[in-house]
Amino acid sequence: MWVSFDLGRPLGVPNNPQFQISVLKHALKLFEAPVGPVLEDFPEDAPDTKDKPVQIACPVNFRSKPVETTSIQQMLNDFSSEVIQMRTWYDLACDKKKRTTTGVTGFSPEETAEFLSTFVKGDLPKAKLKNTSIADAIRMAAEDLKAYYFEAVSAQPGQPTDSLSLANWFWGETVAALVINGIRKICIEDRDKNMELLGKLLLVPISQLYRFKDL
């Protein structure tokens, strides 16, 4: 079943069990088809896709985002500090929900940050994922990182959980976004087709690329 929801949200939106059950029932209904394979569109958009984004008041006081003249090492130092600052809120989110969407790589958030930072510095990360290409490993690490940030900031009471507000906050205000954009630029220049594809399509959403046109 094809859905129009944001990547990583196969059931639509968080904290909306009625809509999520509707999605599941529609998917399970496909098993009744007399022949297969079957591909069918889900007839609805997720409820929050039409909401206006809300400005997130992040519980962490970040430094100003690095500018173009900032050294790579300074950016990575700020990135490491940022990841550490988010940890308390992430732990609170995990304690409250008793689950997390991070961990696809098997790395801790700090290890994920180190994995991505090593690549930005021009080295191949020492940590390896078995039977996984470097392109897939970077993609999964970037998804883990975003999930870590989203869960952490959502732990603060009163924060919006719609995908657009979270995306605007992450891509517009965090150093992590600059690190992922740095990886994107490296991948685009790579001769490996999988790395090139990763850089062009899979790291930074097209709707957020305008933020990095001068970087």
Residue 9's pLDDT is: 77
The predicted pLDDT at position 170 comes to 94
Quick: pLDDT tens for 8-31. 778 887 778 898 999 999 999 999
Residue 69's pLDDT is 45
Question: Residue 193 in 3-state DSSP?
Answer: helix
Query: Rounded mean pLDDT of the chain?
Result: 85
Residue 168 and residue 177 in contact, taking contact as beta carbons nearer than 8 Å: no
Q: What pLDDT sits at residue 46?
A: 75
pLDDT of 81 > 50? The answer is yes
CB atoms within 10 A of CB 171: 22
Residues 6 or more apart from 39 whose CB is under 8 A from it? Answer: 1, 2
Output the CA angle 123-126-130, nearest 5 degrees.
120
Whole-number pLDDT of residue 187: 95
pLDDT at position 183, please? 96
Signed CA dihedral, 87, 93, 95, 99: sign only: negative
- pLDDT above 60: residue 87: yes
The residue ranking higher by pLDDT, 181 or 162, is 181
pLDDT digits (tens, 9 = 90+) for 63-78: 455 454 458 899 999 9
Q: Does the structure show a pLDDT above 60 at 207?
A: yes
Work out the pLDDT band at 126, boundaries 50, 70, 90.
Answer: low
CB 148 within 8 A of CB 107: no
* Predicted confidence (pLDDT) at residue 61 exceeds the cutoff of 60: no
CA atoms within 13 A on the CB side of 186: 19
Whether the per-residue pLDDT at 42 is higher than 90: the answer is no
Is the entire prediction scored with pTM above 0.95?
Answer: no
pLDDT higher at 50 or 102: 102
| Average pLDDT of the segment spanning 166-191 | 93
